[in-house]
């Protein structure tokens, strides 16, 4: 259990779109020249992916120790 690779085709679409947008960001904001913009762009993509994973994934819960 936990977050890992997608199981459904919809998850694979989101994951593939994330990777494609990340690669696109390298061309839109070359890290060597526009470092700040690339970091903001990448951070935004990661935040959106995390929100989608939280909303659609398994609910987080305590997994070890006393429950």
Q: What is the pLDDT of residues 33-51, one digit of tens each?
A: 999 999 999 999 999 999 9
Burial class of 25 by CB neighbour count within 10 A (0 to 12, 13 to 18, 19+): buried
Percentage, residues of the chain above pLDDT 70 = 90
Q: What does the radius of gyration of the chain's CA atoms come to, in whole angstroms?
A: 15
Residue spans of beta strands (DSSP E) within the chain: none
pTM reported for the whole predicted model: 0.80
The reported pLDDT for the residue numbered 2 is 56
Q: Which of 55, 43, 54 is nearest to 18 (CA)?
A: 43
Of the CA atoms within 13 Å of residue 54, those in its CB half-sphere come to 6
- In this predicted structure, the answer to whether residue 20 has a pLDDT above a threshold of 90 is yes
């Amino acid at each position: 259990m936990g977050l890992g690779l997608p199981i459904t085709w919809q998850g694979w679409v989101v994951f593939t779109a994330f990777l494609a947008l990340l690669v696109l960001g390298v061309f839109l904001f070359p890290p060597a020249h526009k470092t700040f913009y690339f970091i903001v762009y990448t951070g935004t993509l990661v935040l959106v992916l995390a929100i989608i994973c939280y909303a659609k994934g398994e609910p987080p819960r305590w997994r070890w120790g006393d429950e």
